[in-house]
Amino acid sequence: MRNLIVFASHEGQTEQIAERIHRRLLHHRMPSDVLDVVQHSATEIQVEAYDAVLVGSPMHFGRHDPRIRFFIEHNLDFLNEIPTAFFSVSLASASKKRKERAEAERLANEFLQSTLWNPPVMDCFAGALKYSKYGWLKRQIMHRIAQRAGAETDFDQDYDYTDWERVDDFADRFATLVRACRRPPEQRPRFSELRTPVREYSLHRTRSKRRTANLYHVVANGGRLHGWMSRANSFRCMKSPLIGRLCAKRSRAKVVAPRATRKLIQGGPILAGKHRYAKPLPRLTFRQRNA
Ligand SMILES: Cc1cc2nc3c(=O)[nH]c(=O)nc-3n(C[C@H](O)[C@H](O)[C@H](O)COP(=O)(O)O)c2cc1C
């Protein structure tokens, strides 16, 4: 019997909580693998190899980690079949005001509802203020947030608000659930039956991304393809269609031939350099274009 603990963490508090749960589960003789979705691609983690899964996510700017959302959505069917648990880590859960704590719970519940995952065990833990790990801007933002919440605001030290006994209690509840739902060995899948891992950023993906970028270029140029773009340019365009269009506009402005030359040649703007006096592209019929 093996459990999986998946988490995401920016400053390490969620990771510490995951480690604590891992140690507590060992007391129950339940070994677990603790995996960080930042280091392990969600599509590479073979959840089917585990008997139970526990997921933890920190809250930043009122949102849970998008990589955790991806992991849940990617394995939704399996997660809804086995014993699972979820924990959320935020500063709002450390607040003295009941309204703010309730808000943290509401956000965690909303997050779960939006993923359609329904873990039987769920809890919200208070996080930490780690001034030593923040950059200048983050430190100012967190300083303001802490001031508003009435928490300590001394930059010189970090503050840990996590209730570690509550974390242990959460791990105990999870262990009880796992024991109650233990699967017989014949129902567990063999490793050979598991799907092969798919790399998220394969060469194929990169190529198709480049093709999409070139498509932006074509659209921005009114349907004309002025040769393939360089790799760097294509990635610049990839960031957004708007940027792509702007880049294309700029490059067009630079390379347009003088007006007199332009009049001579039908078919719109001409490229500079070696393409300057090239024949314009032939006008295609609707059928040819869609062939
Ligand atoms: C940039 C930033 C934004 C945050 N936004 C929120 C927030 O909207 N609500 C909240 O309750 N806590 C917020 N927090 C507090 C974190 O949830 C808390 O520090 C938690 O311990 C972070 O966990 P991690 O170290 O695993 O990333 C924020 C923290 C940072 C650094």
**Residue 138 CB less than 6 A away from ligand 1:** yes
Sorted by where each begins, the domain ranges of the chain are 3-127+162-193, 203-289
Best mutation site among 7, 60, 99 for ligand 1, i.e. most ligand atoms within 8 A of its Cβ?
Answer: 60
DSSP 46-104: -GGG-SEEEEEEEEETTEE-HHHHHHHHHTHHHHTTS-EEEEEEESGGG-S-HHHHHHH
Phi, psi of 129 (to 5 degrees): -105, 110
**CA distance linking residue 126 with residue 88, whole number of Å:** 9
The first and second tokens of residue 179, run together, are 């024991």
Q: Is the CB of 89 under 6 A from ligand 1?
A: yes
**How high is the pLDDT of residue 143?**
82
**Calpha distance 224→217 (Å, rounded):** 8
Q: How far is CA 191 from the centre of its chain?
A: 27
Q: Specify the CATH superfamily of domain 3-127+162-193.
A: Flavodoxin domain (3.40.50.360)
Q: For residue 46, how far is its CA from the centre of ligand 1 (angstroms)?
A: 28
The predicted pLDDT at position 140 comes to 85
- For ligand 1, whether the C-beta of 9 sits within 6 Å is yes
With beta carbons less than 8 A apart as the criterion, state whether 177 and 1 touch. Answer: no
pLDDT along the chain (291 residues), means of 10: 91 95 95 90 86 95 93 93 94 87 93 93 93 86 77 79 95 92 65 44 42 51 48 46 51 48 47 47 64 58
User: Does ligand 1 come within 6 angstroms of the Cβ of 62?
Assistant: yes
Name the residue with the closest Cα to ligand 1, atom 25: 11
Nearest residue (by CA) to ligand 1, atom 2, is 60
Among 185, 146, 191, 219, CA closest to 46? 191
The CA-based angle 194-39-241, given to 5 degrees, is 100
For residue 89, the model assigns a pLDDT of 96
In this predicted structure, what is the pLDDT of residue 259? 53
CA-nearest residue for atom 29, ligand 1, is 60
